[in-house]
Each structure stands twice: as C-alpha cells, then as structure tokens.
Amino acid sequence: MKIVFTWVKDEDVKYFSENLKGHQLIFYKDYIDKINVEEISDTDILSVFVFDKLDKEKLSRFKNLKLIVTRSVGFDHIDIDYCKENNIKVANIPSYSPKSIAEHTLALLLSLTRKLKTSIEKTTKVDFTQTEDLMGLDLDDLTVGIIGTGRIGSWVARMCLSLGMKVYAYDVIENEELKKLGVKYVDFDTLIESSDVISLHVPYSPQTHHLINGEAIKKMKEGVILINTSRGAVVDTDALYEALKEGKIGGAGLDVFEDEDILILEKYEDGHSTDKNLKIIKLSTLPNVIITPHIAYYTTKAVKNIRKHTVEAIKMFLETGKLGSFEVV
C-alpha cells in the first residue's frame, strides 16, 4: 500500500516508519496545498491534519484513494459528501486527549479572570505597582456556560465544578453523569443570557456556523468572557470584534479563529489575507484578549496518542476493511 502523510515532524516520521513496515510510506512536512498532488495521485491511504483542505477538486485528483485518516477530532476540512459518493473511507481520532484541550480552556479562563496578560506586560516594563487594572475575579462567584458537552466539554464542566463555579450546559444530548455532579442543562438563550463565562466545545457544521453572532452577543451579560477552543467559524469574527471594541464582551480567549490557517501557516507571505486576519491581529494586542495558535491539543500525551491511534486506524482498515470507533464515513 502507498501511504502518504502530510504535515509531519521528524518524530512522526520515525514512529510511522517503525510501525507501518512493509508499506510504501511517503512523508511531507508541508500541508497539502504545498504538495504537487500529481506526484502522489496513486496514493491508497492519505493521512492529513486540520490545515489540509481536501475539497472536491483536490480529492478528484487521487485515483486510487481508499482511506483518509485525519489526525484530529474535527473533519470539516474534508469534503465528506464527495468521499461518500466515491467510496473513500474517512477516519478521525476522536479521543486522543480531550483533557488536554479542556486544560487549555481552563488556562485561558484563569489567565483572563486574573489579568495575567496585563500583569506580565507591566512587569516586563519594570512596573510592579498594584493597580486596579490587575484586579481579578473569583471563580466561585462566576457561572460558566458550556456549549457542547461531549468529551472535551464534559472535562471542562468537571474542572469548573471542582473550582466552585456554577455550571450551565447546552447540548442536544444531555450527559446524565454531569447532571448528577451538579451541571444544570438549559436552553441556548438561557445559557448565553445567564453566564459570566461562555466556553465553546461544539464541532463545526452548517448548524454551528457563526453560532455566536451579533444577535447572540446582544443577549449576553455585559462584560461576559468568551472562550473558543472548538472551531474558528463557530464565532463570527466581525461581531466579536465589535463587541470587544464596545466593551460588551469583557474578555476573549481564542485558540481557534476564522481564516486561522493564513496566519498559522504564514500564507500572508504568498499574498493571502482577509479582513478577519486583520481583526484577529488587532484583537491580539488588547489586554483582555488572549489568542493562541490552535495548540489546545498540543501536549506530549496527546501527540503520542495521535500517532498511536493513526497507526491503529490504518492497520485496522488494512486487516479488516473496517475502522471501528475511528470511522467518520
């Protein structure tokens, strides 16, 4: 089998080479747009990352493709309909380390409530005065609203409960275990109207596109803190920008944002940019906004698990033609 891996590091190459012996393995350190697809058009299995956009045009150039394994939970970067129509199996890695992303969510929350960005900026300028702009918030006085209580959102809920926060949740499927722990499920409007902190943990889909938009923001509390470690397009950048400028939103922690690939992959060097990029750059300069480059997942345990589960998915497919819990389509 010819197996192609994109967006890999040296450690990935070593692991995949040792654990997939007997197959023709090809590795690229770049994402798919930087690769000449014609060179690998006879690929049987393609393993990609979230920055590899596999639309119909690109997928149609692969003649023998049987399986795509995305080394991520999300798979909105892949044209699933095309894969279904052309009998291409798609696998994701649904549970490599949901706790890692939950911990990053909590790190953003704590950084915002305790004004760490402002504090660090002041002390690096040799200003050690205790001024009012450094006054933090007590977590046990706050209500956090968690939108999406899957693997990641459930961990966030547990962590927030352990810190004394009141936890509201919204999801189409309610987690009975979380209810027993004290999480209160409410409708979407009640959650956004009542929460001091709103944390997003939903997959991206047409239904969740701009779930947080101007209309939703108007219903939120004055000074609400918004955290997004799900997918960038769940939040309308334009609406967020205006709400932060006006002070409606008191703070934002973003590990994901719209058109993030342009900044993260430095596509601007090739002349690519959008107005959303400029707004994100502007927001990153504000004392009440913390932006990280899609690294919530990026821990030693998570990376090891991603490698391990990728190999498991490929081997399962080769041996049985099935994907088990890894299967998307």
Catalytic residue among 104, 158, 294, 309: 294
**DSSP label of 132:** G
- Identify the burial level of 214 via C-beta atoms within 10 angstroms of its C-beta, where 0-12 means exposed, 13-18 middle and 19 or more buried: middle
Catalytic residue among 201, 231, 307, 309: 231
Q: Are 226 and 235 in contact (CB under 8 A)?
A: yes
State the Cα–Cα distance between residues 40 and 191, nearest whole angstrom: 48
177 catalytic per annotation: no
114 catalytic per annotation: no
Catalytic residue among 258, 260, 309, 312: 260
The type of residue at 115 is: K
Helices and strands, number each (H, E), in the chain: 13, 12
71 catalytic per annotation: no
Query: End-to-end distance of the chain based on CA atoms, in angstroms?
Result: 21
- Could you list the beta-strand ranges (E) of the chain: 2-5, 24-27, 45-48, 67-70, 89-91, 143-147, 166-170, 184-185, 197-200, 224-228, 249-254, 289-291
State the Cα–Cα distance between residues 156 and 12, nearest whole angstrom: 29
Q: Which residues are catalytic?
A: 231, 260, 294
